[in-house]
Amino acid sequence: MPEIPPAVECLLTDWFRRARESQFIHYECGVWYGRLNYLLGIPTIVLSTAVGTAVFASLETNATGNERIAVGLVSILAAVLASLQTFLRFSERADQHRLSGSGYGAIRRAMEFLRTFPPAEAAALQEAVTAIKTEMDKLAADAPPVPSRLKKKLDNEIKRQAHDRIFHVPAKTER
C-alpha cells in the first residue's frame, strides 16, 4: 500500500485535530443553544397558558383591580418572552451549530479514510488533500460564530482533558 509523505501526514494530523476540536465545539454550542431555547420557551408557554386561563376566569368572575393588574403584567411578560424567543432564534442557532459539527465530522472521516486508503499516485493524493482543504475552508466560512465566553470555556475543557482520549488521531497502520 502506498505511503503518505511525512509533510502531508503532518498536515493531515493538524487538520484532523482542528476538525475534531471544531466538531466538539459546535456540537457543544448546539447543546447550549438548545438549552437556552428550552429555558426561554417553557416559561413562555406556561405564562401564555396562565394568562389565557386567567382572562377567561376573570370574565366569569368579578376580578379586583389587583387581579387585573397581575393578569396584565403576566400577559406583558409572556409577550416579551415570546418576542425574545423569536428574536434570539435559539432553536435555529442550535441547528446551525449541529450542522457545522456534523460537517467537521464528515471532514474528519474523510481524512481517516484518506490515511487508511491513500491513493497510489501523488496527483490523486494532492487532489484529495485539496478537496479536504476546500471543504474545511467552506465550512469555516459558513459556520455560525461561537460566543467568545463559551469558546473560552470549551477551549479550557479541551486543554484540561487528556488530548488522546478526546481527540483520537489514528495511528499510521502497517502497510
Amino acid letter at 135? E
Whether 167 is in a domain gets the answer no
Whether 89 is in a domain gets the answer yes
* Torsion 153-92-137-116 (CA) sign: positive
Whether 2 is in a domain gets the answer no
Percent of the chain at pLDDT above 70? 90
Whether 170 is in a domain gets the answer no
pLDDT tens digits, residue range 45-90?
999 888 888 777 776 677 777 877 888 888 899 999 999 999 999 9
Whether 172 is in a domain gets the answer no
Whether 27 is in a domain gets the answer yes
How many structural domains does the chain have? 1
Range of the domain at 35: 10-162
- Alpha carbon distance, N-terminus to C-terminus of the chain: 5
Q: How many Å apart are CA 114 and CA 90, to the nearest integer?
A: 36
**Nearest alpha-carbon partner for 95 in 47, 39, 34, 152:** 34
Look up the pTM and report it: 0.80
Greatest C-alpha distance within the chain: 86
Q: How many Å apart are CA 38 and CA 49, to the nearest integer?
A: 16
